[in-house]
Amino acid sequence: MTGKLGLIIKREYLAKVRNKSFIVMTVLSPILIVGMIVLIAYLTKVNDSEKRIISVLNESEFFQQDFRITESTSYVHFENISLEEAKDSTMSLGYYGLLYLPNEKDMEEVAKSTYLFTQDNPNTHITQKLERIFQKQLRQKRLGNLGVSADQFSAIEKDFEINLATFAGEKSVKGINEIKAFIGGAFGYAIMMFIIIYGGFVMRSVIEEKTSRIIEVIISSVKPFQLMLGKIIGTSLAGITQFAIWIVSASLLLFLVSLFLGIDLSTLLGEAQMNPDKINGVAQFSQPLDGDMLLYAKEILDIPWFLLISSFLIYFILGYLIYSSIYAAIGAAVDNETDTQQFIFPIILPLMLAIYIGFFSVFSNPHGPIAVGFSLFPLTSPIVMLMRLPGGIGEGGVPLWQLLLSIALLIGTFWGIVSLAAKIYRVGILMYGKRPTYKELFKWLRY
């Protein structure tokens, strides 16, 4: 009996990896991915190098020293010309805009009647930057009126960051929860992609056997369940092969590209750190001090990698088997791929939910009620639990009972769903004709 299962797995595997479109995807995907990364790196670089020039016509006595050249903006000062002339020259020189500070007696008055003239609506980065300059001066002036000296002011202005520590007394750093959840999320995301891609392959392979009418020949030799299992395992082995090829070739390509084209890929990371909006959370540790850097490294090394990877394997195998057996049942229930849509949506829904819950709720509060609930619920737990796990188990991490309960629920669901799916599969593969309704599928369970 196991010999037959082996035969089926082998056939499914070979049929998949010899398939032309599979080969094309295997070869092309890493090239596309690397191409995209290179493109993003290139565009980021181009974006960076574009320097905006703003002309300043300052008729007042204030703000004389405040418009200093920065990485992305530089200022040209006009003097002794009228506003109209300044506008004309700004336009003819092709500068980004003209900042006009009229001559008033009071700094407040100057600030109030200052204008920024631009061709189109100005970039918010620019306006924010300018506003900050004014605000700082105004604040200093107002505090000066209250008797605060310039030295005192700069003492007040010093940045402040709160120190963090766990109850156990370990020093902690900001954003580490997010980094950990991000690592777990990457594992969860990989599971979701794998399920959607290779679950679809399983489904199409079942449909192919139905439409080619070979199915009855085969199930007169093997049990339908064996065929289903063999198909799922064979397809997932092909999938693992493809994933492995992708990871190896993409990293190799990336390495070669960065070597030959000289694109510094670390600028990508650097940019992400500089820009608080790009990656929420992670960026909060912008420019950490050396001591903090060590802490981050320590925290990442402290992630229970063995636990994480072994749980990944457990959740991956169980989650994939649950979902792909549903895909197989759908393939068996219909005659062609166009009929699958109404059945596929309900499967993808919990997967998407898990990803969204993960990124919105687990990131900020890995042990809150929503995170706990969805990491126990079997259809979302493979993704959500993996996002929680980098915090470890036990104190400060996932309580052991939650992990065990989640796996137990998943195993229970696995048995339930796989046996239900096998029933639908067994009946469905011999049914031709019209697309069944959910009611009919329910009836099949009792045949």
Partner 1 sequence: MDNILVAKNVCKSYGDYTALSNISLEIPKNCIYGLLGPNGAGKTTFIRIINQITYQDSGEILFNGSPLAPEHISLIGYLPEERGLYKSMKVGEQALYLAQLKGLSKTDAKQRLKYWFDRLDIGDWWNKKIQELSKGMAQKIQFIVTVLHEPKLLIFDEPFSGFDPINANIIKDEILQLKEKGTSIIFSTHRMESVEELCEYIALIHKSEKILDGKLSDIKKAYKNNIFNVGLEIQGAEDTFIKTLENQFQILSSSFDAEEKQLDFTVQLPSNHTADVLAQLSQTANINRFEETIPSANDIFIQTVSKENDR
* Strand 115-118 relative to strand 171-172, pairing: unpaired
Question: Environment class of residue 69 by beta-carbon count within 10 Å: exposed (0-12), middle (13-18) or buried (19+)?
Answer: exposed
What part of residues 19-48 is at the interface with partner 1 (CB under 8 A)?
A: 19
* Per CB under 8 A, 11 contacts partner 1: yes
Residue 101: left (phi > 0), alpha (psi -120 to 50), or beta?
Answer: beta
Q: Could you tell me the smallest distance in angstroms from the CB atom of residue 51 to partner 1?
A: 58
From the list 6-14, 92-100, 285-293, 414-422, the region that binds partner 1 by CB under 8 A is 6-14
Q: Comparing C-alpha atoms, which of 25, 37, 35 is closest to residue 242?
A: 25
Tell me whether residue 171 or residue 443 sits nearer to partner 1 (CB atom): 443
Tell me whether residue 220 or residue 287 sits nearer to partner 1 (CB atom): 220
Tell me whether residue 176 or residue 422 sits nearer to partner 1 (CB atom): 422
Choosing from 68, 158, 439, 446, the residue that interacts with partner 1 (CB under 8 A) is: 446
Tell me whether residue 124 or residue 212 sits nearer to partner 1 (CB atom): 212
Q: Could you tell me the smallest distance in angstroms from the CB atom of residue 170 to partner 1?
A: 59
Q: CB–CB of 177/285 below 8 Å?
A: no
Residues 6+ apart with CB under 8 A from 33: 246, 250
* Per CB under 8 A, 17 contacts partner 1: no
Q: Could you tell me the smallest distance in angstroms from the CB atom of residue 238 to partner 1?
A: 15
Tell me whether residue 90 or residue 205 sits nearer to partner 1 (CB atom): 205
Tell me whether residue 388 or residue 426 sits nearer to partner 1 (CB atom): 426
Q: Could you tell me the smallest distance in angstroms from the CB atom of residue 447 to partner 1?
A: 5
* Per CB under 8 A, 434 contacts partner 1: no
What part of residues 194-253 is at the interface with partner 1 (CB under 8 A)?
A: 208-209, 212-214, 216-222, 224
Neighbours of 347 (CB within 10 A): 18
Q: CB–CB of 382/316 below 8 Å?
A: yes
Partners of 75 in the β-ladder: 54
As a whole number of angstroms, the distance between CA 70 and CA 116 comes to: 18
DSSP one-letter code for 389: G
Stretch (H or E) spanning 410: helix 400-428
Q: Could you tell me the smallest distance in angstroms from the CB atom of residue 446 to partner 1?
A: 7
Measure Cα distances from 244 to 199, 248, 251 in Å.
Answer: 18, 6, 11
Tell me whether residue 160 or residue 447 sits nearer to partner 1 (CB atom): 447
Choosing from 4, 45, 87, 367, the residue that interacts with partner 1 (CB under 8 A) is: 4
Tell me whether residue 45 or residue 435 sits nearer to partner 1 (CB atom): 435
Instruction: Locate 118 and state its tokens.
Output: 């631009």
Tell me whether residue 215 or residue 379 sits nearer to partner 1 (CB atom): 215
Q: Could you tell me the smallest distance in angstroms from the CB atom of residue 425 to partner 1?
A: 12
Q: CB–CB of 181/361 below 8 Å?
A: no
Q: Could you tell me the smallest distance in angstroms from the CB atom of residue 382 to partner 1?
A: 32
Q: Could you tell me the smallest distance in angstroms from the CB atom of residue 195 to partner 1?
A: 25
Q: Could you tell me the smallest distance in angstroms from the CB atom of residue 341 to partner 1?
A: 24
Q: Could you tell me the smallest distance in angstroms from the CB atom of residue 194 to partner 1?
A: 24
Tell me whether residue 178 or residue 209 sits nearer to partner 1 (CB atom): 209
Q: Could you tell me the smallest distance in angstroms from the CB atom of residue 427 to partner 1?
A: 8
> Residue holding tokens 């849509």?
341
> Residue holding tokens 């399920």?
195
DSSP one-letter code for 121: S
As a whole number of angstroms, the distance between CA 420 and CA 62 comes to: 78
Q: Helix or strand or coil: residue 310?
A: helix
* Per CB under 8 A, 432 contacts partner 1: yes
Q: Comparing C-alpha atoms, which of 414, 345, 410, 347 is closest to residue 375?
A: 410
Instruction: Locate 197 and state its tokens.
Output: 């891609």
Q: Within 212-304, where are the H helices?
A: 215-219, 224-260, 266-274, 290-302
Choosing from 28, 32, 248, 430, the residue that interacts with partner 1 (CB under 8 A) is: 430
Tell me whether residue 302 or residue 440 sits nearer to partner 1 (CB atom): 440
Partners of 101 in the β-ladder: 58
# chain residues binding partner 1, by CB under 8 A: 25
Interface residue list for partner 1 (CB under 8 A)? 4, 7-8, 11, 15, 19, 208-209, 212-214, 216-222, 224, 426, 430, 432, 443, 446-447
